[in-house]
């Protein structure tokens, strides 16, 4: 009887709450997915159970590729995310290493400055920043996002990498230095190969955030074919009639899938990066 | 924090030019990131302060008008509503996110089958693009196609569909639900990391001493996760306070400008109505409030060190 009591306890304390959480946290995705596979007419059939697919169709997805700029948005998002991730990662490796290992004037001040930059939200800056972008002639160019996204990414990524670099035993670097290695050579040949998990965490963080960014992309990339996925979907897929739901949900699903995939492959790195960031600042 | 003598000596011995001297190399390595942050973060910040003191519009250079934008806003009933909304939005959702996240973490901390895929799945609201997942909520709250309305009607609880986003109060509640949904996994995963750092022996010792589940939770678990909950809470308040996309996608601040928060109202005035100076002033009203939370966070982290 002890066994069954434990089972009912587990049911009550673990599985019941777990079901609640799964339903609450996953239902919107479930809903988006089934709507994206339904023909538009079925949405109006009130006798159909809306929680299931009666007739399966791919027409909403085909529509995206034949009648909208969705493929362009994918290309734009990919280019912007890859380049701004590379740029941010480069800057963050340098800054993280300098903060972790080098003694130089103003290092404390810069460390705090970078931490504070992590807390500056885009909503505080977007209006003046729009003027800066306009004056530099960067409106509707990839550079508008490639150059501004790093301001959101470098602070966290440098902080994360700084923490990571500090865990590498100094003795390794010291002995390399005694052998005549330069600091830069040590960074490239010793520190970076030992920091692959940290680099992955930082890279995934940067890529995800760039892919998901909304406000700057909304303002700096207002021309139709230059939009990123989130902005294009939100501003061009919602129409005045009621027939857009299927393709709207299809575009939302397609725009989310790459990030969901990337994340599930690297879930360990992502979570360790996230918690390292939160715990260490 | 302290660097060993050997390292300092190493720097001095191999000092050859800029790249070898620690002080100059340090500055050189900070330069690319610092430059980007100066041009695209620090400079716009000060430019924003200047703009807020002018009557600038889009493509129209403004005149200096002192604090008029700031004082005018205090007479603007929509701005006052916006301020109320922002505080409610941030201060109500964060405790819910923290509590639900704590529950989620406690559940996930149990040994169970499929724990890895389950952990990956429940993180999704936090991971995927918010603007896109919010479209799911946009349909869930739709006056015609809402599955919630369908369910309630199906069970005979309501006769008419609910217009979730058409009524100001209901709209704010709906937006907050979507926000809680998105933020819960963040708390969950951070608190879970804190829970996993609770030494098992401590819990066992407490159990042997006769402490029940609730007592063990209160006296062993809570002190261990208090710190991470506080950090996550402060970060979440800052982010929620300065949010934009959730409201932009769900209500655009409507109906009748009743659901704006600072970010969306600044966008509406600064870009849609092209009053950049006024918009910059709205955004800057966030600054002192965000500074308080940022300061608390900094003080707490310094103390921990």
Shortest Cα distance, chain A CAs vs residue B290, angstroms: 8
Shortest Cα distance, chain A CAs vs residue B179, angstroms: 12
Number of Cβ pairs closer than 8 Å across A and B?
A: 313
Nearest CA in chain B to A124: B283
Tell me what the pLDDT averaged over chain A comes to. 90
CB of A9 closer than 8 Å to CB of B109:
no
Residues shown for chain A: 281
Return the structure tokens found at B168.
């100001």
| Nearest CB neighbour to B41, from listed A125, A178, A281 | A125
CB pair distance less than 8 Å for B40 and A147: yes
A41 in B contact zone (CB under 8 Å): no
B174: nearest Cα among B239, B99, B100, B251: B251
Residues 242-261 of A with CB under 8 A from B: 242, 245, 248-249, 251-252, 255-256, 259-260
Can you say whether residue A6 is alpha, beta or left, with left for phi > 0 and alpha for psi between -120 and 50 degrees? alpha
pLDDT grade, residue B177 (50/70/90)? very high
Q: Which residues lie across from B54 on neighbouring strands?
A: B64
A169 in B contact zone (CB under 8 Å): no
Model pLDDT for residues B7-45, shown as the tens digit of each residue: 444 444 444 567 778 889 999 999 999 999 999 999 999
CB pair distance less than 8 Å for B36 and A14: no
Question: What is the structure's pLDDT at B305?
Answer: 67
B212 in A contact zone (CB under 8 Å): no
pLDDT grade, residue A275 (50/70/90)? low
Span B232-252, average pLDDT: 96
Could you write out the DSSP letters of every residue in A185-201? HHIIIIIHHHTHHHHHH
Place of tokens 């995939």: A261
Least confident of A141-155, A266-280, B85-99, B115-129: A266-280
Q: Which of B21, B23, B41 has the most A C-beta neighbours within 10 Å, making it the best mutation to test the interface with A?
A: B41
pLDDT grade, residue B46 (50/70/90)? very high
Question: What is the structure's pLDDT at B193?
Answer: 87
B108: nearest Cα among A271, A105, A217: A271
Q: How far is CA B302 from the centre of its chain?
A: 21
CB pair distance less than 8 Å for A154 and B33: yes
Model pLDDT for residues B179-233, shown as the tens digit of each residue: 999 999 999 999 998 888 888 888 888 888 888 888 888 888 888 889 889 999 9
B231 in A contact zone (CB under 8 Å): yes
Tell me what the pLDDT averaged over chain B comes to. 90
Model pLDDT for residues A91-123, shown as the tens digit of each residue: 999 999 999 999 898 888 898 898 899 999 999
Question: What is the structure's pLDDT at B13?
Answer: 45
Shortest Cα distance, chain B CAs vs residue A148, angstroms: 6
Question: What is the structure's pLDDT at A276?
Answer: 58
Shortest Cα distance, chain B CAs vs residue A7, angstroms: 12
B107 in A contact zone (CB under 8 Å): yes
Given a cut of 80, whether residue B6 has pLDDT beyond it is no
Shortest Cα distance, chain A CAs vs residue B206, angstroms: 20
Given a cut of 70, whether residue B2 has pLDDT beyond it is no
Could you write out the DSSP letters of every residue in chain A? -HHHHHHHHHIIIIIHHHHHHHHHHHHHHHHHHHHHTS-HHHHH-TTS-TTS-SS---HHHHHHHHHSSHHHHHHHHHHHHHHHHHHHHHHHHHHHHHHHH---TTHHHHHHHHHHHHT--HHHHHHHHHHHHHHTT-TTSHHHHHHHHHHHHHHHHHHHHHHHHHTS-HHHHHHHHHTT--HHHHIIIIIHHHTHHHHHHHHHHHHHHHHH--HHHHHH--SGGG--HHHHHHHHS--SSS--HHHHHHHHHHHHHHHHHHHHHTHHHHHHHHHHHHHH-
CA angle in degrees (0–180, nearest 5) for B85-B86-B87: 95
Q: B148: Cβ–Cβ under 8 A, 6 or more apart, which residues? A: B140, B141, B162, B164
């Amino acid at each position: 009887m002890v066994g069954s009591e434990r089972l009912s306890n587990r049911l009550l304390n673990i599985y019941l709450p777990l079901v609640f959480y799964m339903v609450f946290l996953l239902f919107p995705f479930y809903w988006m997915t089934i709507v994206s596979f339904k023909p538009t007419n079925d949405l109006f059939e009130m006798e159909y159970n809306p929680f299931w697919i009666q007739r399966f169709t791919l027409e909403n997805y085909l529509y995206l590729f034949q009648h909208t700029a969705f493929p362009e948005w994918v290309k734009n998002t990919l280019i912007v995310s890859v380049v701004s991730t590379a740029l941010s990662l480069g800057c963050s490796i340098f800054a993280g290493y300098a903060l972790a290992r080098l003694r130089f004037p103003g290092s404390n001040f810069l460390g705090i400055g970078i931490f504070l930059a992590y807390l500056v939200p885009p909503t505080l800056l977007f209006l003046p920043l729009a003027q800066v972008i306009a004056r530099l002639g960067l409106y509707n160019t990839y550079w508008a996002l490639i150059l501004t996204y790093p301001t959101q990414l470098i602070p966290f990524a440098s902080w994360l990498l700084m923490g990571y670099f500090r865990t590498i035993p100094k003795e390794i670097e010291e002995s390399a230095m005694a052998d005549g290695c330069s600091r830069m050579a040590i960074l490239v040949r010793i520190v970076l190969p030992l920091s692959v998990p940290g680099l992955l965490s930082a890279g995934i963080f940067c890529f995800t955030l760039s892919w998901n960014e909304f406000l700057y992309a909304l303002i700096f990339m207002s021309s139709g074919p230059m939009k990123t996925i989130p902005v294009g979907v939100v501003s061009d897929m919602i129409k005045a009639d009621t027939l857009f739901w299927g393709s709207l949900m299809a575009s939302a699903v397609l725009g989310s899938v790459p990030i969901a995939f990337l994340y599930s492959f690297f879930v360990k790195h992502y979570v360790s990066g996230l918690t390292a960031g939160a715990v260490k600042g | 924090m302290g660097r060993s003598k050997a390292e300092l000596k190493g720097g001095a011995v191999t000092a050859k030019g800029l790249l070898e001297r620690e002080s100059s190399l340090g500055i050189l390595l900070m330069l690319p990131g610092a430059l980007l942050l100066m041009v695209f973060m620090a400079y716009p910040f000060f430019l924003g302060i200047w703009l807020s003191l002018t009557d600038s519009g889009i493509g129209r250079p403004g005149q200096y008008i002192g604090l008029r934008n700031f004082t005018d806003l205090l007479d603007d009933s929509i701005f006052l509503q916006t301020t109320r909304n922002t505080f409610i939005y941030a201060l109500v959702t964060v405790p819910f996110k923290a509590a639900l996240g704590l529950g989620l973490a406690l559940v996930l901390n149990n040994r169970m089958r499929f724990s890895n895929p389950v952990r990956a799945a429940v993180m999704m609201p936090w991971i995927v693009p918010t603007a896109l997942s919010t479209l799911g909520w946009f349909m869930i709250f739709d006056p015609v196609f809402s599955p919630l309305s369908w369910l309630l009607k199906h069970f005979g609880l309501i006769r008419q569909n609910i217009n979730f986003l058409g009524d100001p109060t209901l709209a704010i509640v709906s937006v907050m639900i979507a926000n809680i949904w998105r933020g819960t996994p963040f708390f969950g995963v951070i608190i879970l990391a804190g829970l996993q750092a609770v030494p098992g022996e401590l819990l066992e010792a407490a159990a042997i001493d006769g402490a029940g589940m609730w007592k063990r939770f209160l006296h062993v678990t809570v002190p261990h996760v208090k710190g991470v909950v506080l950090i996550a809470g402060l970060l979440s308040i800052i982010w929620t306070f300065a949010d934009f996309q959730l409201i932009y996608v769900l209500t655009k601040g409507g109906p009748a400008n009743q659901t704006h928060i600072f970010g969306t109202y600044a966008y509406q005035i600064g870009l849609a109505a092209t009053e950049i100076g006024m918009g910059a002033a709205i955004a800057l009203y966030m600054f002192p409030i965000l500074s308080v939370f940022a300061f608390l966070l900094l003080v707490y982290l310094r103390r921990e060190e």
